[in-house]
Structure 1
Amino acid sequence: MTTSIDYWIKNLHLEPHPEGGYFTETTKSEQTLALPQGTRTLYTSIIFLLTSENPSHFHRLKSDETWLYHAGKPLTVHCIFPDGHYEGIKIGPNIEKGETLSFTVPHDTIFGSSVDTGFSIVSCIVAPGFDYQDFELFTQQDLLSDYPQHSQIIEKLAYKEIPKH
């Protein structure tokens, strides 16, 4: 089985994601919901590939997002919850080492994900469905003023400046 990053990007038709990593949308519900921020699909899902050099940078969604492990190395979902506490959740196949095959990030949680070495392939399911209007990326400056106690992970996973796409 071929396991190179380029192989997966090519064969899964992945493109760069604004938060980092590579993705493709796999499912978008035909059903919709009326929400205060507008109409949203019931759910969306993507395949997401992250590398040790290309993590998912800190962002926040107005919806819950469930992460499901598929292949590669374990990854850590780094969460700064609305009450300000931090937790790193390991997603991967090594249950006996405290990893889990899936994790749901609650809405309004600031989060990003990293892989120590190599790459990881996951699916992410967002409900109500992902919409860029409900997506907020953060800079280090944005987060350090509110969460100075988490400076080490913020400096690792928050952009110094939001990249132009």
Structure 2
Amino acid sequence: MNQPAASWVERLGLQPHPEGGYFRRIFTDARTVATPGGERAAASSIHYLLDTASPQGRLHRNRSRILHYLQHGGPVRYWLLTADGVLTSTTLGVAAGEALFLDVPGGVWKASELVDGADHALVSEVVLPGFDYADHEFMSLSQLAGDHAAHLPTLRHLVRPAD
């Protein structure tokens, strides 16, 4: 079934996400765990949507591990940048060579973008331990240029504009 991105926003009650795209938290575990940042839910989950109006998820990192599952649409490319400067990409989609699942360890910089003419990608994410904004950080352009200058040409367009 071909469902336009706008209908997913309405159907799932999604709101604009600070990273780009749209999201809605759909689960927060009542159990908690101790983390370096304090008590966190054991797990949380969101629906996350990129579309042609908001086709990128800006470069950021989280303290927690995040599991990504493509639900509809795509392809969507995820860029992963480790602290030691290793840059990799994985494309979630249904074509040969694409994946339906991506595991991003905590502390890894991550960005996403629609590719190959995709008009949307609906991804569900599970965060372990659960997401807290205190554990989230955006990459700045000066940080990218200073710490990972070799990747500036590839990732510059995925850095959130300065506030």
- Normalising by the residue count of structure 1, what TM-score does the alignment of the two structures yield? 0.92
Q: Stretches of 4+ moved more than 2 A in 1?
A: none
Q: Secondary structure at the match of 1:145?
A: helix
Structure 1 segments unaligned to the other structure (5+ residues): none
Q: CA RMSD in A?
A: 1.2
Give the equivalent residue in structure 2 for 1:10: 10
State TM-score, norm by structure 2: 0.93
Partners of 1:101 and 1:124 in 2: how far apart? 12
Q: Which residue is equivalent to 1:47?
A: 47
Q: Aligned residue for 2:68? A: 67
Secondary structure of the 2:155 match is helix
Match of 1:57 in 2: 58
Give 1:146's aligned residue.
147
Give the match for residue 79 of structure 2.
Answer: 78
Q: Which residue of 1 aligns with 2:34?
A: 34
Query: What is the DSSP-based 3-state SS (H/G/I as helix, E as strand, rest coil) of the residue aligned with 2:84?
Result: coil
What is the DSSP-based 3-state SS (H/G/I as helix, E as strand, rest coil) of the residue aligned with 1:19? coil
How far residue 53 of structure 1 moved from its aligned partner, in angstroms, is: 4.5
Cα distance change, pair 12–46 in 1 and its aligned pair in 2 (3 A): same
Which deviations, in whole Å up to 9, do the C-alpha atoms of 1:99-122 show, x marking residues without a partner? 111011111001110002311001
Q: Determine the C-alpha separation between the residues in 1 that align with 2:52 and 2:146.
A: 27
Q: Give the aligned partner of residue 136 of structure 2.
A: 135
One-letter amino acid of the counterpart of residue 43, structure 1? A
Q: Does the CA contact (< 8 Å) of 1:52 and 1:114 recur in 2?
A: no
5+ residue gaps, structure 2, are none
- 2:105 corresponds in structure 1 to 106
**Aligned 8 A contact 2:19 2:160 in 1:** no
